[in-house]
A and B are shown apart, each in its own frame.
Chain A
Amino acid sequence: MDIDIRHIAKLSRLKISDDEFAKFENEMKGIVDMVNTLPQLGEDLAIDENNVMQLRQDIAETGKFTRDELFQNAPQVKAGCLVVPKTVE
């Protein structure tokens, strides 16, 4: 089966250069053929009622981390904010 590598790459926010494209497409085909050996078992995937979680109590905690600690790994910070290329909207 053929998959639209360019579209999948766009969704994944990955760039695949033209020279690596053929190799990549080839590998992806092989992997997809492997997962295609999975048999179809049916339609509905019922919710797992036995796998229930405990919820968190609504209690606020603050001051555990400073902005500087949290942003120490940030590529670009300005006026206490993260900086990204201009976005419209």
Chain B
Amino acid sequence: MNDEYEVVIGLETHAELSTESKIYCSCKNKFGIEVNTEVCPICMALPGTLPTLNERVVDYAIKMGHALNCKINRVCKQDRKNYFYPDLPKAYQISQSDIPLCENGYVDILVNGESKRIGITRIHIEEDAGKLLHATSFEGSSLVDLNRCGVPLIEIVSEPDMRSSAEAKAYLETLKSILSYLDICDCKMQEGSIRCDVNVSVHKKGTPFGTRTEMKNVNSFSAAVRGIEYEQKRQIAALEAGETVVQETRRWDDAQGISVSMRTKEDAHDYRYFPEPDLLTISVDEKRVEELKAQIPELPTQKILRYVQKLGLPQQDATIIAENVDLANFFDECTQKGGASPKIAANWLLGDISKYLNETGKTLGETKLTPEKMTELIGYIEKNTISTASGKKIFEIIVAEDKPIKQLIDDMGLAQVSDTSELEALADKVLAENEPSVTSYKNGKTNALGYLVGQCMKASKGKANPGMMKEIILKKLGE
């Protein structure tokens, strides 16, 4: 990017909340069922139906508010956002306008080791819309599936505090991990459970902010990065060509990697917000607000700091573990309860365990591996009961099947020989059989040592404790 320019990015992130029922009716809130089967008179807006607000939606939004250090407006209301579209049965979306449930917060993100604070303008609750299905076979028509109508959403609006696509990505990753830590969103990107609108503007450094465009239809974090980079290039090119950037809504086409103006849809955009008369004031008592605060677990950024400062993990390892709630909990169990060495536990998590998960596509929970077993295995290796190589052999088994480790070591005969007399006998035998090497060592060919130790290991079928074996050989050669 032309470095006279600076890009300014703000994000509006929509997260679907993982409640049992929808936000304004009792329909099941679930993904991937047959079209129009999770629908009722209320969410399809039959005449005379009325909304009733799901209390868990309010709880979840307040939790997110606490996690993002927001002020909680425990007395607030809902408003109607009016516009016509076939995926919006009432022709208005019940949302929040002037008084959001949460506002004025912040979140700290880490971008290549640097911590940066991003302001959170507001978090409000609202309902999702249905889906329109398009296909050439539909001959000039589109089909409407209302299953998603009324799925609860929180919209998290950031301040325009990001200055690069990398920061935007880090911000989104952080939000995602917080949502999964709070267990209020299943965070399945491919199912659209987190979506965002991206506001981008560019300006020459040291000059006021430029005109911003809003980009919709950004359905993955990588798409957000691509979209931002495309949009900043497009705007800089426009300014360089002496044109001006038009304030408008644009649609990101990820397939073609371009953003296109939606001005056509703009013309009649006057949402006529007004207080939802079918719902009264929302009032959450202070006690409840505090209870919800108490339920907030240690969040990724705090974990990363603890891992780095208290446990001495490298920043990068700490981040990878902390941003995945499963890995983090597994790691904490091993190191706190099990008392395993943090560095070794981290190596296993980022090494063999991650490798296995990637290959099998499983989550930690879906494996047979438990923190207890992992701690036990690490223990045997640290006590030299088995070699690291043998440890990996055993891992391959216990990750897939529930078998006692001790028994595996015996059955597979993986226990290392660390008994001195046994090792000395072995050494005498090997030295006797390798006179030439012994001689050449004594003539200063020190590399013969490695050969001799190797022969011992071979003779012991790998069971000899390599460290002890080497000492004994040295001792005997010195005699």
For residue B145, which residues in chain A have a CB less than 8 angstroms away from its CB?
81
Q: Is B41 an interface residue (CB 8 A)?
A: yes
Mark the stretch among A24-32, A33-41, A54-62 that contacts chain B.
A54-62
Q: Is the interface of A mostly helix, strand, loop or mixed?
A: loop
Q: Are A84 and B53 closer than 8 Å at their CB atoms?
A: no
Q: What's the minimum C-beta distance from B466 to chain A, rounded to whole angstroms?
A: 59
Q: Are B20 and A59 closer than 8 Å at their CB atoms?
A: yes
For residue B280, which residues in chain A have a CB less than 8 angstroms away from its CB?
48, 51-53
By beta carbon, the residue of chain A nearest B53 is: A55
A11-B268, A11-B270, A64-B40 known; A56-B53 Cβ under 8 A: yes
Q: Are B75 and A58 closer than 8 Å at their CB atoms?
A: no
| Max chain B C-beta neighbours (<10 A), residue from A51, A52, A56 | A56
By beta carbon, the residue of chain A nearest B58 is: A55
By beta carbon, the residue of chain B nearest A56 is: B52
By beta carbon, the residue of chain A nearest B82 is: A11
Mark the stretch among B27-35, B192-200, B225-233, B306-314 that contacts chain A.
B27-35
Q: Is B323 an interface residue (CB 8 A)?
A: no
Q: Is B21 an interface residue (CB 8 A)?
A: yes
B446-469 interface code vs A (CB 8 A; 1 in, 0 out) = 000000000000000000000000
Number of interface residues of A (CB under 8 A): 33
B257-295 interface code vs A (CB 8 A; 1 in, 0 out) = 000001001011010100000011111000000000000
Q: Are B140 and A82 closer than 8 Å at their CB atoms?
A: no
Q: Are A47 and B76 closer than 8 Å at their CB atoms?
A: yes
Q: Is B155 an interface residue (CB 8 A)?
A: no
Q: Is B142 an interface residue (CB 8 A)?
A: yes
Q: Is B217 an interface residue (CB 8 A)?
A: yes
Q: Are A79 and B75 closer than 8 Å at their CB atoms?
A: no
A-B contact pairs, 17 of them (CB 8 A): A47-B281, A48-B280, A51-B280, A55-B54, A58-B57, A61-B26, A65-B41, A70-B41, A70-B46, A71-B36, A80-B36, A81-B36, A81-B133, A81-B143, A82-B86, A83-B138, A87-B132
Other than A60-B29, A70-B40, A81-B143, give 8 A-B pairs with Cβ distance below 8 A.
Answer: A48-B280, A52-B283, A53-B279, A55-B52, A55-B282, A82-B144, A84-B141, A89-B217
